Amino acid sequence: MLKPRVQWLRALIAVVALSLLLAFSAGLGMAIMAGALRLWPGLLQNAQWAQPPAAPSATPAPTNTALPSPTATVTATFTATPIFQLPGRVTGDQLRLRRTPGSAGERIARLPANTTLALEGRSADFTWYEVTTADGLHGWVGAEYIELVGQSADLPVTGQIKSVGDEASVARNASPAPALLSAPDSRDKPVVEFLLLPETPLGLAGRSSDGQWLQVVSPYGDIGWVPTDKVNLLVPLDAVAITFETVAAPAPEVAAANLPTAASDATNSAAVATQPGTATAAASATPARTALAQAGATATAARTPLATSMPSATPVPAKPTGSPAPISTQPAFTQPPTQPAPKTPAAPFDPRLYISNITPRAREIFLLGQARGNRADRFSKVGDSITIPPQFLALIDKGEYNLRRYTVLQDTIDFFSATPVRNGSSFANQSLAAKFGWPTRQVLNPWAAGEICGAGEIPLECEYRLTQPAVALIMLGTNDVPSTPAAVYAASLREIVEFSILRGVIPALSTIPSFNRAGSEQRPRELNAIVVALALDYQIPLWDFWAATQHLPNQGLSGDGVHPAWGSAPLDFSEDNLRQHGGVMRNLLALQMLDSLRTQVMK
C-alpha cells in the first residue's frame, strides 16, 4: 500500500498533466510546451527528495497558472520582427518625422538635434530613412540630416517615394509661352514641341545667322527653337554657333531690295518682310536683320543705287519667277567673300555654354566631404566603356595634351595632378566604378566590385572609399539604351546621386551621346531627360555632352554609332579637332567642369 505522501504526489502530477493537456488543446502551442518541459524536472525532484509540504496550499494546482506567462515570452516578438538596424543621430534641429517617405508624408513629430535613432530601412534612392526613436516613435526622416554609423547600402529598401518624372511632366506641359518650336519660323505654323515656363534653364545648341532665333535644349532633353528676345543670354550672342542660315533664296529680288532698307528705312523693311509668298522658314525669319548681317559682311549696305529698287518690290508676288532687272544685281549680294558656311561657329567653341547648375548646394556637398576626409584635389570617374579608355583624360598624366586657346585650364590640371591616387593622378586613375558594358545598375551591384573591394561593398562605395574624391564625373546610360526601362534607369541614377551626396562627393552628371543604331535613335533623348531632371532636382552640376555634339559629323560618334570618336589626338583642343571628334569635345567639357567646380565651389 502506497504511503499517503506518494499518493498525494501522484495526484498532483496527474492534475498538472491534465492542465497541460487542456492548455495545449486550447491552442497555446509549442511555446507553452517548452515552458512545461522546463518545469517537469523540478516536479520530479519534489517527488524524490522534497520534504512534505507544510500545508496543501503550498503546492496547489493553481500555481500552474503561471505557465501562460512563459508562453508569452519575448522570443515570439523577436522572431516576428527580424530587423537589421544601424545607429544614427539627427544632425539638424527640429527634423520632421513623417509617416511615409517623401515631403508629402504626414508629419508625426519634430526631432531635436542629436536625437539618437535606430535606422531600419531606406528608400531606393537613399533620400529617406525609416527610423525608430528611443521613445518608440516610428517613421521616416530625410537622409541628408542623419549621421549614421555603417553603410546605408546595408539597409533594406522599405519605402518608395514619388519619382521625378511627375514634376518633369508638369513643367513640360505648362504654359505660358514661349513655345519650343521645331523650326525658326514665326508665322508658318511650325510644330510646337511644348511650352516653356518662365525661368526655365536652357542649353544653347546654336542660333540662326540673323540672330533672331536660338536653338536650345530644354531641361528634358528636347531640342528646338525659341525667339532670341524671349531668352536671357548669359553669354554674348556672337559666341553661339550658327546652325541655321536665314538666306531668302525663294525671292532673290526681294532680298536684294532689303539691303538698303535695312540700313535706311526700318518701316519699309518690315513691310517687305511680311509680304506674302515667303513660304519657307528661312524666308520668314525676319529678313531685315538677316540683310543687316549680310550687308555688314559684304560691305554693300551703302550702295545707294539699290535704294530706287524698293518701290518695285511691291509687284513681286505677282511675278514669283522673278524679272531680269532685279536679277542683274544678284552677284553683288550672293557672293559675300566672308559669308560663313552652314553650321560653322561664329566664334571659337566655348565649353562654358554646356556647363550649368553650379549651385550653392554643390558647396554644401563639398564641405560635407571635407569633414569626412575627402580630398579636394581628387576626382573619380563613374561610367562604362566610354569612360575607361586612356583617351579620356588619362593621357594628361603623360603630358600628351595641347590646350590651345584654353590655357586657363592649366591651373585645374595642375591642381588635380598634385596628389597621386593608386596608379597615377585622378586623370589616369583606373576607376573601380567604371567597366566595359556596364548598365547604370551595375555600379550599385556588390557582385560587380573588384577584388580589392570589401565583402559586400558596391563598386561606387569601393571607389569612393579608396580614392576619397571631392567630385565624381558621372556618365552612365549608353548600355541602358537598348532595353533598360526608363523607370529603372531613373531609380538607379537617383540612387547613385544620393549615394554620392551622402558621402560628400559632388556628383557632376553628364548627358549621354547619341546612339545611331536602328530602333534606338530616340532613347538617348528619353534618358537624357532623366539626367537633366535629376540635376535640377538635386541642384547638382550638369555638363550637356549630348547638346555639344549635335552639330558634329555623325554627332561626334565613331563608326560603330555608339562610342565617341577620339581621333589621333584626343586631348588636342584645336578648333578643327573639336569640330570633328566627340571624344575631344568630351575631354574639354570634363576639364571645364572640373575648372568650374575648382574655381566656384572649392575656392
- Contact status, residue 101 vs residue 160, Cβ threshold 8 Å: yes
Last residue of a domain, one of 132, 162, 192: 162
Same domain? 378 vs 480: yes
Of the listed ranges 156-160, 281-285, 353-357, the least confidently predicted one is 281-285
Of 286, 549, 510, 232, give the one whose Cα is nearest residue 387. Answer: 510
Which of the residue ranges 77-86, 186-195, 214-223 has the most confident prediction, judged by mean pLDDT?
214-223
pLDDT band for position 104 (50/70/90)?
Answer: low
What is the band of 218 on the pLDDT scale with cuts at 50, 70, 90? Answer: low
Instruction: Please indicate, yes or no, whether residues 278 and 221 belong to a single structural domain of this protein.
Output: no
Q: Which domain holds residue 209?
A: 166-244
- Which of 224, 244, 264 is at the close of a domain? 244
In 3-state terms, what secondary structure has residue 61? helix
Query: Hunting for cell 519575448 — which residue is that?
Result: 74
Return d(Cα 305, Cα 303) in angstroms, integer: 6
> Which of these ranges, 8-12, 208-212, 247-251, 265-269, has the smallest mean pLDDT?
265-269
- Stretch 467-474: mean pLDDT, rounded? 98
Across the range 228-233, mean pLDDT stands at 77
CATH number at residue 563: 3.40.50.1110
Burial class of 157 by CB neighbour count within 10 A (0 to 12, 13 to 18, 19+):
middle
CB neighbours (10 Å) of residue 324?
Answer: 6
What was the pLDDT predicted at 216?
74
Bridge partner list, 194: 180
Exposure string for 381-404, b = 16+ CB within 10 A, e = fewer: bbbbebbbbbbbbbbbbeeebeee
Q: Is the dihedral of CA 270, 276, 282, 284 positive or negative?
A: positive
User: Is 182 a residue whose pLDDT tops 90?
Assistant: no
Clarify whether residues 452 and 490 are in a common domain.
Answer: yes
Query: Residue 340 falls within a domain, yes or no?
Result: no
What are the tens digits of pLDDT across the range 499-512? Answer: 999 999 999 999 99
User: Does 62 share its domain with 137?
Assistant: no
**Both 526 and 584 in a single domain?**
yes
Give phi and psi for 74, each to the nearest 5. Answer: -70, -10
454: number of Cβ within 10 Å = 13
Percent of the chain with pLDDT over 90: 37
Residue 108 placed within a domain: yes
Same domain, 367 and 425: yes
Mean per-residue pLDDT, 555-583: 95
Total domain count for the chain?
5
* Span 301-355, pLDDT tens digits: 333 332 333 333 333 344 344 444 443 333 333 333 444 444 444 467 889 989 9
Highest-confidence segment of 38-47, 84-93, 161-170, 475-484: 475-484
Half-sphere exposure of 425 (CA within 13 A, CB side): 18
Whether 189 contacts 153, CB under 8 Å: no
* Mean pLDDT along residues 371-382: 97
Is the pTM higher than 0.85? Answer: no
Gap between the Cα atoms of 282 and 182, Å rounded: 13
Helices then strands, each counted (H, E), the chain: 19, 19
